[in-house]
Amino acid sequence: MKALSVKNLNVTFGRNVVLEDISFELDSGVIAAVIGPNGSGKSTLFRAILGLIPYAGEIKIFGDPIKAALPRIGYMPQHFDFDRTMPITVSEFLSFTAPRLRKPKAETICGDVQVDTLKHKLIGELSGGQLQRVMIAQALYKNPDLLLLDEPSSGIDIEGAKAFYELIEHLNTKHKVTVLLISHEVNFVHRFADQIICLNRKLICDGAPAEVLNRETLNKLYGSRMDIHLH
């Protein structure tokens, strides 16, 4: 059974066509990345998958319609806006997510995501990279089968981004969770992803990184001026 099946997806806002006739599938257990320029519809695709906006077409998650499958989805938004003066610790923040989660399971997740040493820190004191890991832990507290990550390494330096993608790879392997992420780091997703979905309002290409990430595809997505060296 496919983890995600999107068929003939169309999203319009008024007269503005944001996504046009998008179709692709994800196998269970893969890491897949959605890439494309700003304004190409990547975040809109996620909102459609989460059932947050109206759309035409069909979306199935593990064979079920969105509403039935929502409990199986973990989601990390691109931005998490909160009052940094709020006196709440990482441990308290995470406990609000899944108050019935047993302590051993919670400790395992925190250890895997490397936030176990942050549990007593205030949320407002965290660095960008630390906050990203806490948000990953929050998503994993739901014990999801499908994890959606909207630009999870934005605002992190190159070394931090590399460590973050290694963490995603580890979680995918250990927790058997299917991962769909939005990214601008083409070099990183070329290395870590099993599947690349190239989006620019329409589906430009979809497949294994070695098959779809080439100069022709990148020119279609970003224009000929973008300089990317895949390695």
Query: pLDDT tens per residue, the chain (231 residues)?
Result: 899 999 999 999 999 999 999 999 999 999 999 999 989 999 999 999 999 999 999 999 999 999 999 999 999 887 677 777 788 999 998 888 777 788 888 888 888 888 889 989 999 898 888 888 888 888 888 889 999 998 876 656 677 777 788 888 888 988 789 999 998 888 888 888 999 999 999 999 999 998 988 888 888 888 765 555 555
In the prediction, which pLDDT does 157 show?
65
Q: Kindly state whether residue 103 falls inside one of the protein's structural domains.
A: no
Instruction: Reduce the DSSP state of residue 90 to 3 states and report it.
Output: helix
Ranges of H-type helices in 100-214:
103-112, 128-140, 158-175, 186-192, 209-212
The reported pTM is: 0.88
Q: Kindly state whether residue 113 falls inside one of the protein's structural domains.
A: no
Q: Kindly state whether residue 177 falls inside one of the protein's structural domains.
A: yes
CA 52, chain centre distance (Å): 16
User: Distance between CA 221 and CA 104 in Å, rounded?
Assistant: 45
Q: Kindly state whether residue 100 falls inside one of the protein's structural domains.
A: no
Q: What is the CATH number of the domain that holds 187?
A: 3.40.50.300
Q: Kindly state whether residue 26 falls inside one of the protein's structural domains.
A: yes
Nearest to residue 189, comparing CAs of 155, 221, 151, 224?
151
In the prediction, which pLDDT does 167 show?
84
In the prediction, which pLDDT does 135 show?
87
Contacts of 138 (CB under 8 A, 6+ apart): 76, 93, 94, 97
In the prediction, which pLDDT does 80 show?
73
Number of folded domains that form the chain = 1
Q: Kindly state whether residue 135 falls inside one of the protein's structural domains.
A: yes
The residue segments making up the domain with residue 36 are: 4-87+127-222
In the prediction, which pLDDT does 97 show?
78
Cβ-contact 82, 123 below 8 angstroms: yes
User: Distance between CA 31 and CA 58 in Å, rounded?
Assistant: 22
Contacts of 64 (CB under 8 A, 6+ apart): none
